[in-house]
């Protein structure tokens, strides 16, 4: 079992949580692109529980597509305000073993921490919870596990850091303090208004085939109840609805999803399969016939939860840097086990 040199008693508790020292943070929320086919998730769980006996671990998801830092950052940003206080461990790290920084970020003046690679993965979530108050690079190797190779920082660097934060170790003991403003911001696509309509991009397709767009509901004001939706050059019609059940049979709907963004949906069917839309694809919305879109061809705002940016689609808005790394965002990749 892994043992932390400065804390020789931490892995000695075969009896479990009852004999473990009290934890400052009892919960770790764990997200990765590890999948479930290999042992990686189980190994990280075991390291966490060996170094912080009694800690509870919630698997947010391990189904992020391999190396998809942007997709993982959006997943984390959607989830973070609902996660238990404590430590968020996020590992989608294509740059593992390179000079990309491993970091731990304090939010809420120490009420919670986010641990992972500084590749844009963490910054949107940090922004969603009000910004970072402090951050460190995890360069104190006394608190790493001995590594046979440099490709599994989830096990060797990030999990020990998360466990030690749960036990109450001071953030600065894990490594060199850095200015949170220096954290890599995340880039998110922004919508724009053009003469032919409102240009948007697909942020996410969930397992039901619902297609989340980078659109604030306010951006649809003035369009009416029926819109033309052009996908891959082919127009179709979508009705603005409040529920899945309100979508016309065999048709498409536009509703406000559970995260407050506009989504293209179908009733008991996959809007993604019907339209062929995948994350990153472009969509153009306009009036259902002769009506022109409201506004002019200027920059339009887009909202991800509570954070709003202005910009042009096809361009990208930074998320994670402003306000002690709060109000801007980030992106990256990992190889091997990561």
Does the structure show a pLDDT above 60 at 222?
Answer: yes
For 13-26, what is each residue's pLDDT tens digit?
A: 333 334 568 999 99
Residues 47 and 195 in one domain: no
Residues 182 and 221 in one domain: no
Give the tokens for residue 247.
Answer: 């979508």
Residues 93 and 240 in one domain: no
Other Cβ atoms closer than 10 A to 237: 13
Give the tokens for residue 125.
Answer: 């979530």
- Element (H or E) spanning 264, and its range? strand 262-265
pLDDT band of 241, cuts 50, 70, 90: very high
| Closest CA relative to residue 283, chosen from 221, 196, 217 | 196
Q: CATH number, domain at 286?
A: 2.40.30.90
Tell if the pTM clears 0.85, that is, is over it: no
Q: CATH number, domain at 167?
A: 3.40.50.10790
Residues 89 and 137 in one domain: yes
Does the structure show a pLDDT above 70 at 252?
Answer: yes
Does the structure show a pLDDT above 50 at 126?
Answer: yes
Residues 256 and 120 in one domain: no
| Number of domain units in the chain | 2
Residues 115 and 198 in one domain: no
Answer for the pair 60, 83: CB distance below 8 angstroms, yes or no: yes
Q: Which pLDDT score, from 0 to 100, does residue 189 have?
A: 86
Does the structure show a pLDDT above 90 at 150?
Answer: yes
The 3-state secondary structure of 11-53, one letter per residue = CCCCCCHHHCCCCCCCEEEEEECCCCCCCHHHHHHHHHHHHCC
Residues 156 and 300 in one domain: no
For 3-55, what is each residue's pLDDT tens digit?
A: 444 443 433 333 333 456 899 999 999 999 999 999 999 999 999 999 999 99
Answer for the pair 321, 328: CB distance below 8 angstroms, yes or no: yes
Residues 23 and 164 in one domain: yes
Give the tokens for residue 54.
Answer: 């009694």
Residues 161 and 250 in one domain: no
In angstroms, the Cα distances linking 159 to 45, 143, 199, 226 are: 8, 10, 41, 49
CA distance 97 to 100: 8
Residues 35 and 182 in one domain: yes
Answer for the pair 131, 122: CB distance below 8 angstroms, yes or no: no
Answer for the pair 304, 319: CB distance below 8 angstroms, yes or no: yes
Sequential DSSP letters for 113-164: EEEEESSSSSHHHHHHTT-EEEEEE---GGGS---SSSS-HIIIIIHHHHHH
CA distance 280 to 297: 22
Answer for the pair 74, 125: CB distance below 8 angstroms, yes or no: no
Answer for the pair 306, 168: CB distance below 8 angstroms, yes or no: no
The DSSP call for residue 169 is -
Is position 22 within any domain?
A: yes
Higher pLDDT, 324 or 184: 184
- Domain limits for position 27: 17-186
Residues 235 and 197 in one domain: yes
Is position 328 within any domain?
A: no
**What does the pLDDT average to over 126-153?**
96
In angstroms, the Cα distances linking 246 to 238, 266, 273 are: 12, 9, 19
Residues 46 and 181 in one domain: yes
pLDDT band of 211, cuts 50, 70, 90: very high
By residue count, the chain amounts to 338
Q: Which pLDDT score, from 0 to 100, does residue 122 have?
A: 97
CA distance 171 to 175: 8
Q: Which of 139, 162, 186 is the last residue of a domain?
A: 186
Is position 333 within any domain?
A: no
Does the structure show a pLDDT above 80 at 221?
Answer: yes
The DSSP call for residue 299 is B
């Amino acid at each position: 079992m892994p043992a932390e040199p400065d804390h020789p008693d931490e892995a000695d508790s075969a009896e479990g949580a009852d004999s473990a020292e009290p934890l400052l943070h009892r919960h770790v929320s764990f997200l990765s692109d590890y999948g479930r086919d290999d042992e990686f998730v189980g190994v990280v769980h075991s390291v966490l529980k060996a170094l912080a006996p009694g800690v509870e671990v919630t698997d947010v998801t391990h189904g992020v597509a391999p190396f998809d830092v942007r997709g993982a950052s959006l997943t984390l940003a959607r989830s973070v305000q609902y996660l238990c206080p404590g430590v968020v461990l996020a590992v989608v790290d294509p740059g593992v073993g390179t000079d990309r920084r491993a970091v731990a970020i304090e939010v809420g003046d120490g009420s919670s921490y986010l641990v992972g690679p500084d590749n844009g993965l963490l910054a949107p979530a940090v922004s969603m919870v009000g910004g970072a108050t402090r951050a460190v690079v995890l360069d104190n190797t006394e608190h790493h596990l001995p590594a046979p190779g440099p490709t599994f920082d989830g096990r060797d660097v990030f999990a020990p850091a998360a466990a030690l934060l749960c036990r109450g170790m001071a953030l600065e003991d894990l490594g060199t303090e850095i200015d949170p403003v220096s954290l890599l911001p995340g880039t998110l696509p922004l919508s724009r208004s053009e003469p032919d309509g409102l240009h948007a991009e697909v942020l996410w397709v969930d397992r039901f085939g619902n297609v989340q767009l980078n659109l604030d509901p306010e951006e649809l004001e003035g369009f009416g109840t029926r819109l033309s939706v052009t996908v891959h050059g082919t127009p179709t019609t979508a009705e603005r609805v409040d529920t899945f059940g309100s979508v016309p049979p065999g048709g498409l709907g536009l509703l406000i999803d559970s995260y407050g963004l506009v989504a293209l949906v179908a009733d008991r069917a996959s809007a993604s399969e019907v339209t062929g839309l995948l994350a990153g694809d472009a969509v153009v919305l306009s009036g259902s016939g002769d009506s022109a879109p409201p506004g002019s061809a200027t920059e339009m705002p887009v909202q991800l939860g509570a954070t709003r940016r202005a910009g042009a689609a096809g361009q990208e808005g930074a998320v994670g840097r402003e306000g002690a790394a709060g109000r801007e965002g980030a992106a990256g990749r990992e190889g091997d086990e990561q």
